[in-house]
Amino acid sequence: MDLFKKIYLIVSVLLCCIACSSVEGIENNGTIEGITFANYPRVDGSTSTKPLNAMIACKLLNIRYEWVSNIVGEWSLQANEEDIPTGYSDFFGERIKVSQTHGAFMNLIDGNTDIILTHRTISPDEKAHADEIGVSLMENSIAIDAFVFIVNKNNPLRSLTVEQVQRIYTGNITNWNEVGGTDNEIKAFTRPRNSGSEEVMRELVMDGLEMADFPESSEIPSMAGTFTEVRNNINGLCYTFNFYKDVMVRMPDEIVPKIAINGIFPSEHTVKNGTYPFISKVHVAIRSDLDHNSTACKLYEWLQTEAANAAIVESGYIPKSEATSGTAKISADQLQVYPNPVMDCLYFYPAHSIIKAEIYNQAGRLVFSESGVKEKMDVSALSAGMYILRCDGVVSKFLKH
């Protein structure tokens, strides 16, 4: 990309940030002023955000709704037709689409939709396409969820460490007996590249490690198919979003169990307090060149306010604002830990009152814990090696000399 395009994109992002951060039209009753069936933005999203997208439209347009199950057993919202005006009978088919994660991003980049909700941010492939045609996006998280691993109900194993999961998917662990299970080969299933769960798996769980080249038969094309494959394979292992499992397919653990990670079971409590290791985020995204007076820009802003929380909670997600792992929650881009490598003391910048800091070794075992950390933490007693540091849900790594 030439210099002119880069400058243009940067200016566009800055102007849209300024515009959308001061959007007017959010009414005191939690709705968006002037939003109607006629000017409702074109919305797209992933499979797992389908109920939330539908509920948001129903809430903003005063449409009654009910939960219903489709032919493949996925639950979602069905609008009451009596509340939809004449001429808008196909409103949900035309304005609320489900092109799945990659399709939604491509539609947004290409200008075929106005706003999307997905379980991840833009992927490298999608970013390359956006850069090629001179488009940039604005993305913000609005909700949190657990990214979970599921096994067959007849598999006695109910917990893995972070490192064990990573070593299974790098191909270094191939038998369940290597992680405390039975003497059987692990059938590690995957999802297609650019799907929401696959990109979250690679970024959140693998954390830069290269996944093994599993056979084509291990790739499951649909989210619903993960449960069919794991139910039918006693040695199966796969991953999905907790929301999809518990709310959309309503698959109880008695039939397809989800497992603990580092001994922590995924639940609303462990997601809210940040102790469960794999917490994914639901993101809303728009193009940075979007008209700041558009209903799509107003919806983008509304989704980041407390007014949207009722719809987020009722749909089954946890609003980002309900994370309780710190009195002043920090994010990974705010917290700096130094020096790294370290000999004696780790220092934190900015100085922050951390409710709880935990250090895990490479095997995923908790080796040190301290509460009320402010500026520094003494780690001189630790043996030399690589460690994982978790501060109120923010995870980083450091090397101890």
Strands (E) located in 220-313:
236-241, 260-261, 279-287
Q: What's the pLDDT band for 325 if we cut at 50, 70, 90?
A: low
32 DSSP 8-state letter: B
The dihedral built from the CA positions of residue 6, 8, 11 and 12, taken in this order, carries a sign that is: negative
pTM: 0.75
Q: For residue 165, what pLDDT is reported?
A: 97
The whole-angstrom distance between residue 24's C-alpha and the CA centroid of its chain comes to: 28
**Lowest pLDDT segment from 110-114, 276-280, 357-361, 378-382:** 357-361
Domains in the chain and their CATH numbers?
3-143+279-322 (3.40.190.10), 145-272 (3.40.190.10), 336-400 (2.60.40.3080)
pLDDT digits (tens, 9 = 90+) for 120-134: 999 999 999 999 999
- Mean pLDDT across the chain: 87
Average pLDDT over residues 109-117: 98
The whole-angstrom separation of Cα 211 and Cα 20 is 38
Q: What's the pLDDT band for 18 if we cut at 50, 70, 90?
A: very low
pLDDT digits (tens, 9 = 90+) for 71-84: 888 899 999 999 99
Contacts of 78 (CB under 8 A, 6+ apart): 65, 66, 67, 68
What is the amino acid identity at position 203? E
Alpha helices in 96-238 (DSSP H): 100-109, 124-132, 162-169, 196-200, 223-232
End-to-end CA distance of the chain: 42
Check pLDDT > 70 for residue 16: no
Q: For residue 334, what pLDDT is reported?
A: 54
pLDDT digits (tens, 9 = 90+) for 357-388: 888 887 777 888 887 776 778 889 998 888 88
Percent share of the chain, pLDDT over 90? 66
